[in-house]
Amino acid sequence: EVQLVESGGGLVQPGRSLRLSCVASGFTFSAYAVNWVRQAPGKGLEWLGFISGYGHGTSYAASVKGRFTLSRDNAKNTVYLQMNSLKPEDTAVYFCARSTTEWARWWEIDYWGQGTQVTSSS
């Protein structure tokens, strides 16, 4: 069974940093890209970034580029989302999601995690 479990969310002051983790199981982790998506209160889904299966390729949304960084440790079946200089508008539920191949993007997502809440507020 494919599973993705996010962790690391919480309450953080604006300007501070937070690192989210996504631990995967039930499949050959390095064979699949991982995307991160968030949903702010009352809004739709927003794609944040993508990392390829072996981590050689990344791409980010303009809203987070330069502040958020994706990395992965395939030995631990884990993808990390490092979030720096957080803003109140970053408040959302953050999801990791598997795509169908090593380089597949957000439109090819086939499995989702349950999400973790991030709140940036003073």
Please state, in angstroms and rounded to a whole number, the distance separating the CA atoms of residues 109 and 84.
26
Position 20 scores a pLDDT of: 98
End-to-end Cα, the chain, rounded Å? 40
Helix (H, G, I), strand (E, B) or coil at 35: strand
Question: What string of pLDDT tens digits covers the 122 residues of the chain?
Answer: 999 999 999 999 999 999 999 999 999 999 999 999 999 999 999 999 999 999 999 999 999 999 999 999 999 999 999 999 999 999 999 999 999 998 888 889 999 999 999 999 99
Position 75 scores a pLDDT of: 98
